[in-house]
Structure 1
Amino acid sequence: MKTYTVSIQETSNNTIIKFELNAFITNHQSFEFNNIDEAKNSPLAQQLFYLPFVKKVYISSNFVAIERYNIVEWKDVQEEVAQQIEDYLNNNGIVITEAESVKKVPVTLYAESTPNPSVLKFVANKKLVTATYEFNSIEEAKLSPLATELFHFPFVKSVFIEDNYLSVSKYDIAEWDTVTMEVREHIRNFIAQGKDIVDPQAQQILKKTSEELDKTFEAYDDISKEIINILEEYVKPAVASDGGNIMFQSYDPNDKSVKVVLQGACSGCPSSTFTLKNGIENMLKEMLKGKVETVEAING
């Protein structure tokens, strides 16, 4: 049985708070309710409307967002609301009634080449995970039923999962031309059956919850935080489109060096070192003048 945990996320609108879940609560659908009558097909939303300060309720794949009236401040009530949502879900409370949730969206999955010839990106038409995961062996993949199944293909070397896609890396014993269709259909069928892509507790076990990530970020020095923010804003979107990820590892103020970990299609990619030296390193040197001299890439 799933155990739900809720983390509180502020938004750019101070009247709206997101209560993020560690697992999906809808069939990849989104709902918006403006009052208790509109929420007749959502017992969870109806319960939330009994709180006098609730103005609107939004329910999506892995979060509930609530807009409040100005009669309270979120800081005074958000912990209680988070606990109420958590308790409701863990007591098998219904989020959306079957009548609303039966509108099934067919699963589509397409394969996309990446700059790394060993890696293919498989993109779905729905969100698959709420965090980033990389597995380099079947033993590491025990928290992901889908990755575990993929490792039963003898040519699969590693599996990277983020948002709505997987990047699968292969050994040279097979060519993508001959195995792409088989891998694609296996992934598509797995998703279509509604199975868990990763264990619902994976974020807690791997310390990937929003609170853990925020805690890790706050522990860094100011320059490290600046580097992370630059990577998040300028680098990650570009490498994600190629099926990869770059993760900050460390900053040494003595020799002004930065270490980053390459994941997914970036890991072991022939062009990654070139890209780092001529792109990311120059960007950090320009944006953080005098603070960064070199960037070192480590394959994940």
Structure 2
Amino acid sequence: MFIETETTPNPATLKFLPGQEVMPAGTREFRSDEDAAASPLAATLFDLGDVTGVFYGRDFISVTAAPGVEWSALKPQVIGLLLDHFVTGAPLFHAASASFAVPDEDEDFGDDPELADIVAQIRELIETRVRPAVANDGGDIIYRGFREGVVYLTMQGACSGCPSSTATLKNGIESLLKHYVPEVIEVRAA
């Protein structure tokens, strides 16, 4: 088995590609030891002591290193743990906490039922144009709501702490949504 790595726009995060499915559906992010307790692999990565985030996508795992940690030292350790996990066929989650979707940490802002057509357009654009691009960078984006012309989104994985995430939201996603959905006046991180 060979695990490829890719850099992400976030210098603290590397994307690891095991060449096989990681999650059958959805995504999952771990931001602490407590979150990682649901997954033996995530817990093992956090046990390295230099990991501050783990994100599972469909066919990749993004790992975020603590500030000041050099990837030259951490990368071989992460690859070793990933190889052990995939070669042994270990479960991704403990049976009691198996989840193949992002836990709803924050409540959605709620959408006005009268704006259902606009919300459907926004969701479709996010799903077909934005999410694939964000996944290429080792992350994900979650729709949280549309209220008074403002679209609320949550960035995850490599994108959540990326220095360019504000530019991605404002210059990329906001421009796209405004172009196709004139009712959108702004995009904000939620």
Bin of the TM-score, shorter chain as denominator length: 0.7 to 0.9
Report whether the alignment pairs 1:272 with 2:165.
yes
Q: Taking every aligned residue pair, what percent have the same amino acid on both sides?
A: 37
Q: State the aligned residue count.
A: 181
Given that residues 155 and 189 in structure 2 are in contact (C-alpha distance below 8 angstroms), is that contact kept between their aligned partners in structure 1? yes
Residue number in structure 2 paired with 1:46:
none
Give, in whole Å, the separation in 2 of the partners of 1:204 and 1:227: 24
What letter matches 2:188 in structure 1?
E
Q: Secondary structure at the match of 1:143?
A: coil
What letter matches 1:272 in structure 2?
S
Q: Structure 2 length as normaliser, TM-score?
A: 0.87
Residue number in structure 2 paired with 1:177:
72
Runs of 4+ in 1 over 6 A off after TM superposition: 204-208
Residue number in structure 1 paired with 2:156:
263
Report whether the alignment pairs 1:242 with 2:137.
yes
Give, in whole Å, the separation in 2 of the partners of 1:205 and 1:180: 26
Given that residues 7 and 14 in structure 2 are in contact (C-alpha distance below 8 angstroms), is that contact kept between their aligned partners in structure 1? yes
| Residue 63 of structure 2, aligned match among 168, 175, 186 | 168
* Structure 2: runs of 5+ lacking an equivalent: 105-109
CA-CA distance at 1:205 after TM superposition: 9.1
| Residue 202 of structure 1, aligned match among 98, 102, 109 | 98
Give, in whole Å, the separation in 1 of the partners of 2:102 and 2:153: 19
Given that residues 157 and 169 in structure 1 are in contact (C-alpha distance below 8 angstroms), is that contact kept between their aligned partners in structure 2? yes
CA-CA distance at 1:204 after TM superposition: 7.7
Residue number in structure 2 paired with 1:128:
22
* Structure 1: runs of 5+ lacking an equivalent: 1-106, 209-215
Structure with larger Rg: 1
Q: How does 1:274-289 map to 2 (within 5 A)?
A: 274-289=167-182
Q: Secondary structure at the match of 2:99?
A: helix
Q: Structure 1 length as normaliser, TM-score?
A: 0.56
Report whether the alignment pairs 1:292 with 2:184.
yes
Change (3 A) 1:153 1:204: closer
Give, in whole Å, the separation in 2 of the partners of 1:155 and 1:221: 44
Give, in whole Å, the separation in 1 of the partners of 2:171 and 2:59: 29
Change (3 A) 1:225 1:147: same
Given that residues 242 and 265 in structure 1 are in contact (C-alpha distance below 8 angstroms), is that contact kept between their aligned partners in structure 2? yes
Given that residues 4 and 17 in structure 2 are in contact (C-alpha distance below 8 angstroms), is that contact kept between their aligned partners in structure 1? yes
Give, in whole Å, the separation in 1 of the partners of 2:162 and 2:6: 16
Q: How does 1:1-300 map to 2 (within 5 A)?
A: 107-130=1-24, 131-200=26-95, 202-203=98-99, 221-252=116-147, 254=148, 256-289=149-182, 291-298=183-190
